[in-house]
Amino acid sequence: MKKNSKEVNRRDFLKITSRFTAATIFIGLGGSELFAANHENHNEISIPTVTLNNGIKMPRLGFGTNTLVDAVGVRSVSEAISVGYRLIDTAHIYGNEAAVGEGIRLSGIDRKKLFVTSKLWVDFAGYEKTKKAFETSIKKLGVDYLDLYLIHRPRGDVKGSWQAMEELVAAGKIRAIGVSNFDPEQLKELMSYAKIVPAINQIETNVFLQESILYPFLKGSATQMEAWSPLAAGRSGIFSNPTLAAIGKKYEKSIAQVCLRWHYQRGVIAIPRSSQKAHMIENLNIFDFELTASDMQTIASMDINTTQFPEWK
Ligand SMILES: NC(=O)c1ccc[n+]([C@@H]2O[C@H](COP(=O)([O-])OP(=O)(O)OC[C@H]3O[C@@H](n4cnc5c(N)ncnc54)[C@H](OP(=O)(O)O)[C@@H]3O)[C@@H](O)[C@H]2O)c1
């Protein structure tokens, strides 16, 4: 399915966002601070961070948990933390917040060293329901605050949800709030009443769906782009793609590493999922090589502007 390529009035959006960003710090990507993580083999893995529009730091590479439920979820999250991940992405709809919480506790790491994201499902849109859904999520996770809470999809009473989330920030229960799957028009609508500028827009993006409108739009705003399905969920033959394999060969890197490095060089946060420890480690090892401008151009030509999940539209 082709993505909607509606023209965007970027100037209007920026006009609105500037009212709110004046009082916030937006340092952008490339912050020098790192999320230092002690590898279980005692090597230090340092994941670069981005400073969000409210000044808080977020790792630029994290761990996705969709479909990792029950015992697999517990083990995967604990292993991911043990090999160096500090950003963990979950959601009510994944049905694994309790498992993710258990994985965090099993890892033995101080919760404050982690960056935990969850998301508000569409059934709980609206002021009151959002407050309750948030409490349920943190209870299942066994934490007393979230680093990031996202509106999962732009459905229902987004305004009521956003107001509730702003109040949860003020109450010290959430460090940053954002959205997911919002197009520029939906962001503009949110910005017409928001007191807090969304820190993040988490969207599907990968080599086959490069978001040629939303990507530059977010680049020019105070909202950081985060990639879901950064590896195209393993679909469309991505792990046997000859173009990506040829690029990887030059650096002795895998296709997954080429893709994740590509996101990193575009300034997009990626949250690859894996249930396999070897893949988790592989996906972290992207900070010791650099794609050339020509590699980046070759990958740009792979864009077919196509979702891997037409059934979700
Ligand atoms: N906001 C939203 O609407 C939304 C929607 C979907 C997903 N998300 C989030 O984004 C996260 C990532 O997206 P995703 O889970 O759809 O897919 P993904 O991370 O793009 O791909 C995951 C697939 O890639 C495989 N894989 C991972 N590393 C690999 C490697 N080094 N070599 C070979 N295969 C590898 C995994 O299999 P193995 O387990 O065998 O490694 C798995 O099948 C989710 O888990 C979730 O947290 C958000």
Sorted by where each begins, the domain ranges of the chain are 10-312
The type of residue at 199 is A
CA gap 36, 16 in Å, rounded: 36
- Render pLDDT for 190-249 as a digit per residue (tens, 0 to 9): 999 999 999 999 999 999 999 999 999 999 999 999 999 999 999 999 999 999 999 999
Q: What is the pLDDT of residue 37?
A: 55
CA gap 178, 134 in Å, rounded: 14
Taking the centre of ligand 1 as the mean of its atom positions, its distance from the CA of residue 234, in whole angstroms, is: 7
Helix (H) or strand (E) holding 117: strand 115-120
Pocket residue to mutate for ligand 1, from 117, 203, 273, most atoms within 8 A of Cβ: 273
Does ligand 1 have an atom closer than 6 angstroms to the CB of 282?
Answer: yes
Report the C-alpha dihedral over residues 146, 150, 151, 153, rounded to 10 degrees. -140
Does ligand 1 have an atom closer than 6 angstroms to the CB of 229?
Answer: yes
- CA 146 to centroid of chain Cα atoms: 14
- Render pLDDT for 25-80 as a digit per residue (tens, 0 to 9): 233 333 335 675 544 444 457 899 999 999 999 999 999 999 999 999 999 999 99
Does ligand 1 have an atom closer than 6 angstroms to the CB of 271?
Answer: yes
Q: Higher model confidence: residue 16 or residue 262? A: 262
Q: Whose CA is nearest to atom 5 of ligand 1?
A: 228
Does ligand 1 have an atom closer than 6 angstroms to the CB of 89?
Answer: yes
User: What is the secondary structure of 268-289 as a DSSP string?
Assistant: -EE--B-S-HHHHHHHH--SS-
Measure the CA angle with vertex 188, ends 15 and 300; round to 5°: 95
- Residue 272 alpha carbon, nearest atom of ligand 1: 19
- State whether the Cα torsion 5-27-33-199 is positive or negative: negative
The CATH number of 10-312, from 3.20.20.140, 1.10.3860.10, 3.20.20.100, 3.50.50.60, is 3.20.20.100
pTM, to two decimals: 0.91
Taking the centre of ligand 1 as the mean of its atom positions, its distance from the CA of residue 49, in whole angstroms, is: 21
User: What is the secondary structure of 45-92 as a DSSP string?
Assistant: EEEEEEE-TTS-EEESB-EE-TT--HHHHHHHHHHHHHHT--EEE--G
Q: Indicate if 193 belongs to the active site.
A: no
